[in-house]
Amino acid sequence: MALSGKIAALGEIMQLAFVPEDFDAAVAHWTGTIGVGPFHLIEGIHLEGMKYRGQPTDAVFDLALAYWGDIQIELIRPRDDHPSIYRGEYGSTGNGLHHVCILVDDIAEARRVCADAGAEVMVEGRFGASEVIYVNPGSGPGGLVEILQQAKDGPDLFAIIKAACESWDGSEPLRKL
């Protein structure tokens, strides 16, 4: 089966994301039991122009990022009850996978591919010069797919976090950015 025109053809999975019921316990598990860390916490995120299912939303969330080799692990903590993929039907997955993320160079092309595949855009917005969509690829096993077109200028935050994880000595398992 050719992947051309399919969501998987947009890129490789670079992230596994979770919306745990207990954020602190999840950090402790990933750092203490699994040995992944340190997690880098970004608090109070609200995407510019954020929409949930096409409607503006004021949802705010925190996220913590770390790397396990080349795979980024993301832990998300919703801060409010505004409509989002972190509450309601797409909310906390307990300790299960919430979404995966792929990086793209052309978000408009990614939107076209997703539309052609019948995937619904659940969330869209901007984080600085980066643009992101989260799509629901439909029924079946698995969760949502985050598609991110990163800004081309400025420091590569993911590379900075990855380097910190590669040399992590176990201290400060959760660090604020």
Q: What's the pLDDT tens digit per position in 17-27?
A: 999 999 999 99
Please state the rounded mean pLDDT for residues 99-107.
Answer: 95
User: Average pLDDT over the chain, rounded to whole?
Assistant: 91
Whether omega for the bond prior to residue 20 falls within 30 degrees of 0, making it cis, is no
pTM of the predicted model over 0.75: yes
Confidence at 59, pLDDT banded by 50, 70, 90: very high
pLDDT at residue 4 in the model: 66
Of 29-38, 69-78, 91-100, the one with minimum mean pLDDT is 91-100
Domains in the chain (CATH in brackets) are 7-151 (3.10.180.10)
Q: Is 66 exposed, middle or buried (0-12, 13-18, 19+ CB in 10 A)?
A: buried
Confidence at 142, pLDDT banded by 50, 70, 90: low
**Can you tell me the distance from the alpha carbon of 148 to that of 106, in angstroms, rounded to the nearest whole number?**
9
Q: What's the pLDDT tens digit per position in 61-86?
A: 999 999 999 999 999 999 999 999 98
Please state the rounded mean pLDDT for residues 129-151.
Answer: 88
